[in-house]
Amino acid sequence: MIIEIFKKIKLPDQSLIAHVNGNYDEQDNWFNKGGYLLALHLKLACQKILKKPLSDFYRIFDFGVGCNRIFGRIPTIQNQLFGCDISKDCINYCENHFRGKYFTCKHSPPLSFENEHFDLVCSYSVFSHLPINLMHDWLKELKRVTKKNGFLILSAHGDKMSKIYLDANPHLKTEYDRNGLIEIEYEPLIISNELKFSSSVYKNIYIKNSKMEEILSHYFEVIYTGKALEPLEFVSDETEKSDIKHLEEMNIGTMQEMFFLRNK
């Protein structure tokens, strides 16, 4: 079943994959499969953590949609889907290959939506790269466009990814422990003139889960913080056996911590 879903989805060119993935992936070792894995975790987490199936959310907004590697891996989804990204090439790819409404956005707010427009906002691997001042600006804006008692799911380089990075860069541990985070220059895994897109605004943010929860709590109620790298974390009594089998076969979790929020 997994392989059949992969075959139905036309991959973007390698420059766009590198924009989203951080590296080329000519053999599709991670880009497509990773997107399916994230989509599966999202689907299961909505049921277990938010207590609602994904299908119950009328309007869904993917903030930083990239090449739609998550919702694009859910071919049966019937929700109203919206996505934005700062890359025009990514948006063009989404418009040509997926249902939904996609648009480019600027590095800073505002968005062109009215207040309380979305039932669910998702943002994967965006807040892991936003400078702290922009993180606050976008949290305020996403709060504005999310319905009261609506939900937001975002990811960050939390405890697990921070440990991996600090083990390789122990000279930054004192700053991390003192501030609860470190903000460093974004270093893509590859440097190539063939890349269609780059951004001087990107950073790499490594942040303690507790510090991220503190920031988020100014805008949202923090419902749950995920435990990265645990494949079966979002399995519940309602989980289909086929989904459990897929998770066991892949044997990897979300990598970045996922934070589940309710709009207060």
**For residues 151 and 146, what is the distance between their CA atoms, to the nearest angstrom?**
7
| The pair of three-digit structure tokens given for residue 151, joined into one six-digit string | 């939900």
Backbone angles phi, psi at 227, to 5 degrees: -110, 100
pLDDT at residue 229, as a whole number:
84
| CA nearest neighbour of 141 among 123, 115, 120, 119 | 115
pLDDT at residue 155, as a whole number:
97
Q: What is the mean pLDDT of the chain?
A: 90
On the question of pLDDT at 197 being above 90, the answer is no
| The pair of three-digit structure tokens given for residue 119, joined into one six-digit string | 């039932």
On the question of pLDDT at 217 being above 50, the answer is yes
On whether the CB atoms of residues 71 and 123 are closer than 8 A, the answer is no
| The pair of three-digit structure tokens given for residue 89, joined into one six-digit string | 């090439």
End-to-end CA distance of the chain: 39
Band of residue 25 on the pLDDT scale cut at 50, 70, 90: confident
**For residues 191 and 205, what is the distance between their CA atoms, to the nearest angstrom?**
20
On the question of pLDDT at 189 being above 70, the answer is no
30 CA to centre of own chain? 15
| The pair of three-digit structure tokens given for residue 132, joined into one six-digit string | 């702290």
| CA nearest neighbour of 9 among 70, 72, 52, 63 | 72
**For residues 245 and 239, what is the distance between their CA atoms, to the nearest angstrom?**
10
On the question of pLDDT at 131 being above 80, the answer is yes
For residue range 144-185, what is the model confidence (pLDDT) as tens digits?
999 999 999 999 999 999 999 999 999 999 999 999 999 998
Is residue 75 reached through a cis peptide bond, with omega within 30 degrees of 0 on the bond before it?
no
| CA nearest neighbour of 122 among 104, 146, 99, 102 | 146
As its CATH architecture, domain 2-263 has: 3-Layer(aba) Sandwich (3.40)
- 243-252 own/partner pairs: CB under 8 Å, 24+ apart: 243/40, 243/43, 243/44, 246/1, 246/2, 246/40, 247/37, 247/40, 249/2, 250/33, 250/37, 252/37
DSSP result, 91-143: HHHHHHHSSSEEEE--SSPPPS--TT-EEEEEESSSTTSS-HHHHHHHHHHHH
**For residues 191 and 185, what is the distance between their CA atoms, to the nearest angstrom?**
14
Q: What angle do CA 117, 203, 151 make, to 5 degrees?
A: 25
On whether the CB atoms of residues 227 and 147 are closer than 8 A, the answer is no
Question: Domain residue spans in the chain?
Answer: 2-263
